[in-house]
A and B are shown apart, each in its own frame.
Chain A
């Protein structure tokens, strides 16, 4: 018995070794170092002296950090809410269809989701191009017949990037909603329509309450994802005006890699870290609550 216990341990350690090595080196160690670095006045690479909470105080009074915080929230509102609502509408529409029609429609909405962000960036840069973009055909009449450089117009920048993001990620939400809709037994609808319930009543009394948990799931996933926004915002603002719009990861990038302020960047990272972990714990609790039912 003792021997088999020992061989079980040995096998376990052998199987866990790659995991322990990778997580130790690339997750636990950098996390601890990040927290330590946030208390130092350090450049990106090199030694810095211990300054306690000074980096956090500086963040608190830094207008650019405040801007990055509010712009991130603004972007989250602009991208998450439309993408969840629109995805539910699309899922209801696609779910009614059958066979190849359904597959084709689903593919149309889902294909953008698997594209690399750089490709999405190139496509929409071309769509919105100031001189030759097709979208200018719609924009010009709204702008006194003048073409408009959307991504160089500051008030339009984040809404436009949010629009692109909704286009890019909608398919993911649609997929989860369709899975949720398929889990609703057809018999419930049949029984309801025998009782004379109309479409709206069926949606309000059956579909909506049963799809609600999926809605919460999609919403929290998108919320956490969009708080980490960097790629699109960075790509579309490349070569443009400086700091008119900035999101949190962009702020971290700027402090660390452009201004060489490792300590301050680490402090900003800790803030983002705490924000997202808090939201993730909430999401995990929601998922567990669903699983328990």
Chain B
């Protein structure tokens, strides 16, 4: 009887600690979500409300004027298109190159294979921001400063993508390959009909995360482009200022529009995004 009572008491203590832990986590989560919520809600407030004292968690007069202003009188349209084009180009080229190189290194034997693999591992360790000076000089020599091609080029160094493809191609059972080879499949057919279709999930995950990274990149697009028409959205919204001075709600509305595509992609493909992040950190998820 005593033992049962003691056990019950321990269980109750257990629950109390558990409840406190849950509440603390909840409080922290609210704290974490607040800046984003606060920024978003500010974009729906008229100017006089943004400068009011006190914390109003919901606009008294809900308005879309800030978005209307931003969409009609800034170059956000250009920046959006530039970001879309460069991010899509980076994604397609990186995934295509990585699938090919990953397949060749995983499945084929050829002279220079070890050198290439070594080069990939080396570039994995190299900090790309240390190369900005010489990337800029190179782009200047090629006449690619202030062009979208110039924005794309240095982003194509993506060793992690190749490493992940190689790992996944390594784990495709050899029997499949041998059966296909007996049927007379060429290497390209093997890649496109067997190895890639078996790993569509990985391809999707890598494509999504490459796109998000390209969309979010700041340093290189900031250096490579100085004309407003060629800017990416991450650069445009911080480097071009409204002639009418500081308008908090408008600045935040532009920022929300810049975040919209990555937020949507994340919310739709949550599991793929987390999978890709764990893969690139070296944890098989």
Q: Measuring CB to CB, which residues of chain A are less than 8 angstroms from any residue of chain B? A: 7-9, 11-13, 15-16, 18-20, 22-23, 25-31, 33-34, 37, 44-45, 90, 92-94, 96-97, 104-105, 107-112, 114-119, 121-127, 129, 131-132, 134, 137, 167, 170, 172, 175-176, 179-180, 199, 214, 217, 221, 224, 227-228, 230-231, 235, 238, 249, 252-253, 256-257, 262, 265-266, 269-270, 272-273, 276-277, 280-281, 284, 287
Contact = CB atoms under 8 A, between A and B. Distances in A.
Nearest to A111: B36
Interface of B: 14, 17-18, 21-22, 24-26, 28-30, 32-33, 35-36, 38-39, 42, 50-51, 55, 93, 96-97, 100-101, 103-105, 108-113, 116, 119, 121, 123-127, 129-138, 140, 153-154, 156-157, 162, 186-188, 191, 212, 215-216, 218-219, 223, 233-235, 237-238, 248, 251-252, 254-256, 258-259, 262-263, 266, 270, 273-274, 277-278, 281-283, 285
Contacts of B123: 23, 27
Given A108-B32, A119-B259, A179 B130 contact: no
Task: Among B22, B256, B282, find the residue whose CB has the most chain A CB atoms closer than 10 A.
Answer: B282
List the 3 shortest-distance A-B pairs measured between CB atoms, nearest first: A93-B25, A280-B125, A11-B187
B129 A228 contact: yes
Contacts of A199: 14, 17
Nearest to A173: B281
Contacts of A127: 35, 38-39
A231 B238 CA distance: 11
Contact of B21 (A7, A93, A253, A272): A93
Contacts of A231: 218-219
Nearest to B248: A126
Contacts of B219: 230-231, 249
B258 A23 contact: no
A115 B97 contact: no
Given A114-B216, A252-B129, 10 more contacts: A8-B187, A18-B93, A25-B138, A26-B153, A105-B26, A108-B32, A127-B35, A180-B283, A217-B283, A253-B223
Given A8-B110, A123-B35, A217 B281 contact: yes
A109 B32 contact: yes
Nearest to B38: A134
B133 A266 contact: yes
Which of B191, B238, B254 has the most CB atoms of chain A within a 10 A radius of its CB?
A: B238
